[in-house]
Structures are given as structure tokens and as C-alpha cells.
Structure 1
Amino acid sequence: MNNSVAILRLQDAWRECERNIYHLCHALTLLAPILPMTGKGFEYLTDAQVQSLDQFILRFTKLQDAMGSRLFPALLQYLQEPYEERPMLDKLNRLEKLRYLHNAEAWQNIHNTRNKFAHDYPDDWEKNAALINLACEAAEDMYNILTGIEEKLKTDQPALKLGKSLPVDYPKQLSL
């Protein structure tokens, strides 16, 4: 595969991550007054808060999927690393070795948090609130991974243009 196709795949994956992080930030801004979430707060969410929470969960899930299934493989392909057929853990370890990820295990924790959203606990407000708080921390980790990748690419590949820069004020929105 030629390098221009690899660049286009990386740019397309990056733009998808940008869109999701933008909407995730927006949802977190709306949720900020009720974070960190409590069981009682979760039980009495307003309709608007439920919509913001649903948006956060959707964008969290989409961002995690886009990073794991599109961005990381596209980045490895762009870097001409032969990891297409390798398991995800091998890809993560390679990205860590190349210093695009600080910790491969942190990504697995993010993935596990995402999987916890697949389960519904309709009468366990405390558990739901704890999952939201955990997801807010994991969302910040995803943001930090993206900014780390962005900075490393700017340093190592200055001619590469990914797209827009990530929101600068994102970590402030997650201060739990």
C-alpha cells in the first residue's frame, strides 16, 4: 500500500476522533454541574441531563471504537509497521514502544470501561453513577492519548497535516 493511502486513512480516522471528542466535550460541559455523579443525582436526572448523559455515553463509545479500530491501525500503517494481522494487544504494545501511547494497559482499562456501558442497572443508581464517574476519568485518558499522538506526530512528522487541533480546555471540564 502506498503512503498516500496510509495518510488518507490516518487523516480520516483522526477526523472521526475529532468529531467524537468535540461532542464528548460538549456533553461534559452540560453535565459539569452534576459531576461527580452520585447515586441520588443519577436517580433524579432531568430529561435534559439524561440527553446529555446519553450523548456522553454515545460519544465515549464511538471515540473508543474509532481510536481502537481505526486510528491505532491507521497510525501503525502510516508508520509502516507490519501489524495489520496482529492482535490488538500487540498493536498497543508496539504503539507504546514507539512512544505514541504512554501505557498500553491504560487503553485496556478504557476498553473495559466502555464494555461496562453495555450492561444496564435500572435500579442501582449508585452503580450507574460510579460507572459515569469512571467513564469521565477514562474520557480524559482518551483525550490525553489523542493529544499525545497529536504532539508526537507534530514533532516526528511535521509535514503531516491531521486536521483541526483538539479542544485545549478539555481537561478542565473533567475535573472531578
Structure 2
Amino acid sequence: MPFSLEQYLQIDKITSSFIDQLNFRFSKLQDTMGESLFRAIMIMSKEDVKKMTFIDILNRLEELEVIDKNEWLALREIRNEIAHEYSFNQDEVVDTINIIYEKSDRLVNIYKSVHTFVKNRLLVK
């Protein structure tokens, strides 16, 4: 990694399954954090989430210095590319795989940051 187009065209089924897992897990972690974890943090913080839009939640998490909203939205765009990847353009497929690989560590680090925030500021000691 990163793949060139030539390398991508020569991958075997095992490597392909690893790539599929990377894509799936990136998407799943991004979805779960965005759809469940962030809202739960707001509830634990005693915020009224009933009237909050997702962007409101992101803005509040940024105010609390939990995440960087723009970075999160950029990761969301990458996740959306995976979810809607019907491209027959192999260059686009390779580019998306490489971006996911590059950004995976950042997504995991955001998760760790969120975990630390919850542990240090929201859990009763």
C-alpha cells in the first residue's frame, strides 16, 4: 500500500478480501461513531439532543474539543465514496482504496480521542 493501478489489477482473492474488510470496517466505524456514539456523548453530557441536527452535534463536539468537524465531514465523504462505489473506472477505485488506507489510522485516532474524552470527562469516578 498504496496501490498503483498495475498492482491493483494483479491482486489475488486473499488480498482482495483484505481490501474489502478494510473498506467495510472503515465504513462501519465511521457510521457507528456518527450515528450512535456522538449522540450518546451528547446525552451523557446532558445536552438536549431531540432538536439537534447532526451538524449541531458535530459543532458541539468541536466546542468540547472532542473532534474536528471539518475533518469528520471529510472522512464522511470518503465513507460515502465507499458506500456508493460502483465505479467502473479502475483509477477511481484504486484512489479510493489508497485514501481509505491513508485515513484509517486517523479514524482510529479519532475513536481513541472520543474514548479518552468519555473516560476522563463523562464517566463517574
With normalisation by structure 1, the TM-score equals: 0.65
Q: What corresponds to 1:68 in structure 2? A: 34
Deviations 1:56-100 (A, max 9, x none): 111111111101100100111111111233221110010010111
1:58 aligned residue (6, 21, 24): 24
Q: What corresponds to 2:100 in structure 1? A: 135
CA distance change for structure 1 residues 44 and 113 in 2, over 3 Å: closer, same or farther? same
CA contact (8 A) 2:2 2:98 kept: yes
Q: In the alignment, does 2:12 pair up with 1:40?
A: no
CA contact (8 A) 2:41 2:118 kept: no
CA contact (8 A) 1:40 1:126 kept: no
Q: What corresponds to 2:62 in structure 1? A: 96
The size of the alignment, in residue pairs, is: 124
Dislocated runs of 4+, deviation >6 Å: none
The more displaced of 68-77 and 151-160 is 151-160
- Identity in percent: 25
More RCO (CA 8 Å, sep 6+): 2
Separation (CA, whole Å) in 1 of partners of 2:35 and 2:5: 33
- For structure 1, which runs of at least 5 residues remain unmatched after alignment? 1-34, 161-176
Q: What corresponds to 2:113 in structure 1? A: 148
Separation (CA, whole Å) in 2 of partners of 1:106 and 1:47: 33
CA contact (8 A) 1:60 1:114 kept: yes
- For structure 2, which runs of at least 5 residues remain unmatched after alignment? none
Separation (CA, whole Å) in 2 of partners of 1:147 and 1:75: 14
CA contact (8 A) 1:40 1:125 kept: no
Cα-Cα RMSD: 1.6
CA contact (8 A) 2:45 2:122 kept: no
